[in-house]
Structure 1
Amino acid sequence: MLILGLDSSAVAGSCALCDIDPENSKNNKIIAGSFINTRQTHSQTLLPMVENMLRCAEIDMKSLDCIAVTSGPGSFTGIRIGVAAVKGLAFALNIPCTGVSTLHALAFNLLGIDCIACAVMDARCSQYYNALFRIRGNIIERITEDRAISNEDLAKELSQYNDNRIILVGDGAELAGKSLNGVQDDEGKPILNGVQTELAPLSLRLQRAESVCLAAPEYKKVSAKELLPVYLRLPQAERERLKREIDNENRSK
């Protein structure tokens, strides 16, 4: 199954082309990929990257069987751009598409490394988008659902895995690595005292479209019309609108 994967969930953006065997992952093959980590907007770079990659791989877009995209969590603007691009391509090609959890895809970066994968993305407002996964060889077991979680709550949860190798992966990994060790309990003791966390190697740390392709068989294929972004909390503009409404209601009382 020829899958085109896209990721635009954070500052970095990527696309990949993979031949995926849903019945036997040992037959999976990464054919081509493209990655960019600049301040250019995904609306400028994403589709040109796809076109250039397919041209270099000498693959006609009509040969695609499915398109997979990180549908969230992540940057609201980035997720919208990625999902919209895939909806347009899938509709034009009349093929199914798949929305993949950004955090689950990050766990696939560490496939083959026995560990607790702590997928973290900076959600701002002193929170992370996060999920935990247990990886044994080529098996990934989800431990938690995708969630927005505070630094303190994540530290408390990771303290339960003191006998495990914990690897931080995602664009929030470096920030989490610095912040988590400073979290203290009510007695002023480090919550992660004795718990070792490590950063994923730089080559595996950020979101990658190859991992989106690898995760795709675990998700339901949908039509272009059915593909939707997944937000763990309201976009900032919507939060500000609701706050104004509440403030206006309070003033009118």
Structure 2
Amino acid sequence: MKILALETSAKAVSAAVSENGRILAAGYQDTGLTHSRTLMPIVEHILKNTDLKLSDMDAIAVAVGPGSFTGIRIGVSAAKGLAFSVDKPAVGVSTLAAMARNAAFFDGLIVCAMDARRSQVYNANFSAENGVLTRLTPDRAVSLDELAEEIRNDLQPITLVGDGAHLVYARFTEQGIPCRMAPPHLIMQNATSVALEAEALAAQGKLVSAQELEAFYLRPPQADPLKKKPAPIQ
């Protein structure tokens, strides 16, 4: 199975093509340019350099959240458009579940964290053993203190991954909880892990149509609550 995967949930943007667990090509950019400008050139480049066409893909995968509202919207919209254009199914992948695959070979507790502001992180925890991941929590928004209290007595080695890992590391260290950061080349979200997670979901029959593909927000966009407020009396 060939999968084109997109990752736009945070500051960096990436795309990858996988086939049966092997990454055929990948592109990654973290230059501060907008995803709407950088994503499709990366996709075009990796397809061209592998002599593959979009129609050769068996599915289009994308990280659907949690993460940046704007980034997720760009990635999901792009995936929907690509899947529609070649009449292929789509796979919506949890950003946190894909991220856990970066550190799957560090046996112990994998704490995935994305900066959610307000002293919170978007988080999910996984147990890793011999490269096999077991989900321990749902995707959620949780305070750093709540997360520390939850795993305080866990005796497994703790590996932190994600763009919020430095926040968790600082809080855990303050509270005397031993942990380690994933290596720099594995700590951030990337499309290669999205592709591998998508393959696992596809094997479970969790393909959807382009129309059914949806973003997953743990919080409503900031504009939504503002729209619901009554207009001031003039």
Same fold (TM over 0.5): yes
Q: Deviations over 1:1-43 (max 9, x none)?
A: 00011100000111001002xxxxxxx2111000011210100
Counterpart of 1:175?
A: 167
Question: Is 2:233 the partner of 1:241?
Answer: no
Q: Distance in 2 between matches of 1:58 and 1:133?
A: 37
Counterpart of 1:213?
A: 195
Match of 1:165 among 150, 157, 170: 157
Counterpart of 1:228?
A: 214
Aligned partner letter, 2:195: C
Q: Distance in 1 between matches of 2:188 and 2:130?
A: 20
Counterpart of 2:179?
A: 197
Match of 1:109 among 98, 102, 105: 102
Counterpart of 1:6?
A: 6
Size of the aligned set, in residue pairs, is: 229
Q: Distance in 1 between matches of 2:214 and 2:153?
A: 34
Kindly indicate whether the alpha-carbon contact (under 8 Å) linking 2:106 and 2:159 is maintained by their aligned counterparts in 1.
Answer: no
Q: Distance in 2 between matches of 1:174 and 1:126?
A: 12
Q: TM-score, normalised by structure 2?
A: 0.94
Q: Distance in 2 between matches of 1:149 and 1:218?
A: 27
Counterpart of 1:18?
A: 18
Aligned partner letter, 2:139: D
Contiguous gaps of at least 5 residues in structure 1:
21-27, 183-189
Counterpart of 1:59?
A: 52
Aligned partner letter, 1:241: K
Q: Deviations over 1:92-115 (max 9, x none)?
A: 010000000000000111122212
Counterpart of 2:30?
A: 37
Matched position secondary structure for 2:96: helix
Contiguous gaps of at least 5 residues in structure 2:
none
Matched position secondary structure for 2:64: strand
Kindly indicate whether the alpha-carbon contact (under 8 Å) linking 2:172 and 2:178 is maintained by their aligned counterparts in 1.
Answer: no
Kindly indicate whether the alpha-carbon contact (under 8 Å) linking 2:7 and 2:63 is maintained by their aligned counterparts in 1.
Answer: yes
- Give the deviation of 1:238 after TM superposition: 1.3
Q: TM-score, normalised by structure 1?
A: 0.87
Kindly indicate whether the alpha-carbon contact (under 8 Å) linking 2:145 and 2:171 is maintained by their aligned counterparts in 1.
Answer: no
Task: State the structure with more CA Rg.
Answer: 1
Kindly indicate whether the alpha-carbon contact (under 8 Å) linking 2:112 and 2:123 is maintained by their aligned counterparts in 1.
Answer: yes
Q: Distance in 2 between matches of 1:68 and 1:222?
A: 10
Matched position secondary structure for 1:59: coil
Q: Distance in 1 between matches of 2:101 and 2:81?
A: 26
Q: Distance in 2 between matches of 1:67 and 1:78?
A: 17
Question: Is 2:73 the partner of 1:73?
Answer: no
Superposition RMSD in Å: 1.5
Matched position secondary structure for 2:199: helix
Kindly indicate whether the alpha-carbon contact (under 8 Å) linking 2:148 and 2:171 is maintained by their aligned counterparts in 1.
Answer: no
- Calculate percent identity across the aligned residue pairs: 44
- Give the deviation of 1:240 after TM superposition: 2.9
